[in-house]
Amino acid sequence: MTDSLRMRVAALIVLAGGIGGASSAMAQDSISTTNGLPGDAASAYAIGATQTQVLNYIVDTTVQNTSWGNTYRLAPLVKASASTSSGFFNHLIASQGVSNRFSPVGALPRASYRLWTTAGGGVNPTPGRNNLGTTIFTNTVQGHTFGVSFLEFAGGPNTIFGDGDDENNIIGVLASFDPLNPGRVYASRIVAATNRTNGTAGTFSNASFGLGGIDEAGHIAFYADGLSTSLGDDAITNKRYYRIAGATRSSSVLNSIRGTTSGDASRTSLLLGTTTSLTTPTLISTNIAGRPLVLGLDFANTEQIEQSAGTMTSIATHLSASASLRGPMTFISRPFVLLSNGLSDAGTGIALSRLTSETKTRGLSIWGVNTSGTTDSTARFTLPLVSTELTDPIDGFNPSNTFGSLGNHEFMNYQSQVCFRGPSGPVSGTVLPDGSLLLAAGVAATGGGATTPQSMDNYIAVARVDTTGNATWVVAAHTGGPTGAAGLLAKQILGPSGTPIGTLAKYNEAFPGATSGPSISPPAMDRLGNLYFLSTIMLNGTPNTFSTGLIRANRNSTTGGYQLELITKVGDVYAGANSARNYQIQFLGVADADSVDSGAVWPSSIVQDLPSTVTNPAGLSYGSPRTLGSMVFRAKVVYDVNNDGNFIDPTQPVSASPDQAYNVLMVMLPGDEAVSRCSAADIAFDDGNALPPIGIPGGTNNGVTEGDYNLFFANFFDALPVCDIANDDGSPLPPFGTLDTNNGVTEADYNLFFAIYFDGCPS
């Protein structure tokens, strides 16, 4: 070893204060310094010395093992803003979404973030809410960044929904993580837009919002109109598209959106104002088009594209045949060969459609999108009419045998509030490594996909379109027959050995008073075509129990069939090491009063990019969590503040509980990358032996501890193979479960060991 390297090691020991292990916080699972209400959710309106327009903090995730034994990492990434309606902790969350892509690995968006480790710690600067965490500087940290955004709403200070006092806010988050340590997320929470000038009584709303989309650079596209704003002093009177530069939002200005102006005008672009009804927009990211580019559909059957920066242009070239589109559009950032000319391809647009001669929405329209927003070729595919062409290849379920002619089945999840509240489209899609296009959407098996109340008899239909244009269909998930889980036909949820642990269920089985659905949310789709959705479920037991769960449908690339895996459900409890309190998931929403819930899982809930550590997506195994980039889902969580083992929401009637309840967006990342990264530095045996066999990691089930530190130093300067942990090819991660022992012990091994050790590592 060189003398300079020895000096660096010595200096690092001094800076670390000896050989003790590093500490880490476990997620933004904060509680306030006082019991019960009002909690520590941040205001959407505060500026000045206690501003909450931009808040930066660290989120460390918690391991979640699925019903298959797979590992993901979950955490409450962000809370909705503090409620101005008395008796509530924070706003409700409606539509939400993430960027379709990650940024390349690079510097984080902010130079520092708050980190806390004890109950009462947090990021809210309002006196009496949190003990502010320690400032962590991140000038040496690099990672991927993705965008997260959501629409929040409340009844306002008078607590009444549907009048001029209502609140709507658009919140953005720039979320960053080191792909070698995805257990830690660096979050920058941004109040992108508000519809009021403050949150006090007597002030009225000037706009009503619908969320569109966000890119990895923090640009947010959304819809605004003047619904219920008759009392506003400067209310919007038409239909509008806006784009916000969230990453550079000023923390000293409230960005109140009004009819004639906006509070942070230099970061706010009014792209379109029209009397024609619009659906919520989406956008092409900066990394694809060279600038953020907004896309959306209107009710005149034209597409609005930001062909020139800051201005929308109407086109109709996205239409195929005589199709009339329904609902918002989906954009996936991968071109499909049959639709693209290969010159300036940005990706693929997707929407539900029906022909002018049809009365049901049975088609999926697709079109190639260029980096200017313009269209190349188009195509359209319809649900089959022949019963044998649409079945579940896993359990043989045939929806026509149960619900009658396929001609009566139609796509759903675009009715009621969806077009105006969002998020973007109900159809998910991806281009598979073999070049084929995969499309998935929810179906109302008893018809009425365009009407409310919505059907509870649902299935997810998936079409695979090969590079010649041939489409084949399968059923990925279904509620079975008219009696749901009780009828013994519903799709099974499996355990780790393939043994059924339960089934999907109809909505009224989980909620007996319900008269409408849907029972299954729209599906999100990852890079390899696996689906993620919320559904009401029945779990086997004595007696059987009903709940709502987050389900992953794992796609078999050989058969095209799907098998179901339960990721998490209502009632699950997580240990919050940051707050020193457990929290319980108490709500996951699929349906609202008459239709799909805008806050359910949607195609826009998932990042389809894969982190840089995944270099061969096609080589990932069936069911591997590593096919997921990242995703978010809305939940209500309740903290057991007094540690009595109960999780009691104090906002409920007849409750004097000290616990705290929050509406949050949960973030989910694959868990095995963190284990793989840790195994590189986890070199000491659990049983106390000094050295593992050469080329084999020693203690991959006890985490990186002081024992590993001691072992590394005892052998590094003698260049023994146990310290040879970095790859020859320059990538910092060895193959999972192995060490790299043919290039000798070098400075790269030193750098990798200490990057893992001092960042902390899950046990």
Give the model's confidence band at 758: pLDDT under 50 very low, under 70 low, under 90 confident, else very high.
low
Alpha carbons 445 and 490: distance in angstroms, whole number: 13
DSSP 641-681: TT-SS----TTSTT-----EEEEEEEEEEESHHHHHHHHHH
Is 350's pLDDT higher than 80?
A: yes
The type of residue at 151 is L
Using only C-alpha atoms, the chain has a radius of gyration, in whole angstroms, of 26
Query: Would you say 177 and 75 are in contact if contact means Cβ atoms under 8 Å apart?
Result: no
DSSP state at residue 737:
T
Is 57's pLDDT higher than 70?
A: yes
Please give the residue that has the higher pLDDT: either 405 or 723: 405
Give the model's confidence band at 703: pLDDT under 50 very low, under 70 low, under 90 confident, else very high.
low
Tokens of 78: 């962000």
Chain mean pLDDT for the chain: 89
Residues 98-113, mean pLDDT to the nearest whole number: 96
Q: What is the pLDDT of residue 28?
A: 66
Q: What is the pLDDT of residue 679?
A: 62
Q: What is the pLDDT of residue 404?
A: 95
DSSP state at residue 198:
-
Q: What is the pLDDT of residue 696?
A: 38
Say how many C-beta atoms besides its own lie within 10 A of residue 758's C-beta.
15
DSSP 406-443: GGG-EE-S-STTHHHH--S-S-EEEE-TTS-EEEEEEE
Residues 347-361, mean pLDDT to the nearest whole number: 95
Q: What share of the chain is helix, strand, coil (3-state, %, to 5)?
A: 15, 35, 50
Q: Give per-residue pLDDT as tens, 471-493.
A: 999 999 999 999 999 999 999 99
DSSP state at residue 197:
S
Q: Give per-residue pLDDT as tens, 226-251.
A: 999 989 999 999 999 999 999 999 99
Q: What is the pLDDT of residue 312?
A: 98
Residue 618 sits at φ, ψ, to 5 deg, of: -65, -20
Query: Would you say 333 and 370 are in contact if contact means Cβ atoms under 8 Å apart?
Result: no
Per-domain residue ranges for the chain? 3-23+677-759
Q: Give per-residue pLDDT as tens, 164-211.
A: 999 999 999 999 999 877 888 999 999 999 999 999 998 999 999 999
Alpha carbons 208 and 204: distance in angstroms, whole number: 11
Give the model's confidence band at 496: pLDDT under 50 very low, under 70 low, under 90 confident, else very high.
confident
Q: What is the pLDDT of residue 653?
A: 81
Q: For tokens 């008078």, what's the residue?
A: 158
Query: Would you say 588 and 550 are in contact if contact means Cβ atoms under 8 Å apart?
Result: yes
Element (H or E) spanning 753, and its range?
Answer: helix 747-759
Say what the pTM is.
0.87
Give the model's confidence band at 727: pLDDT under 50 very low, under 70 low, under 90 confident, else very high.
low
Alpha carbons 19 and 151: distance in angstroms, whole number: 46
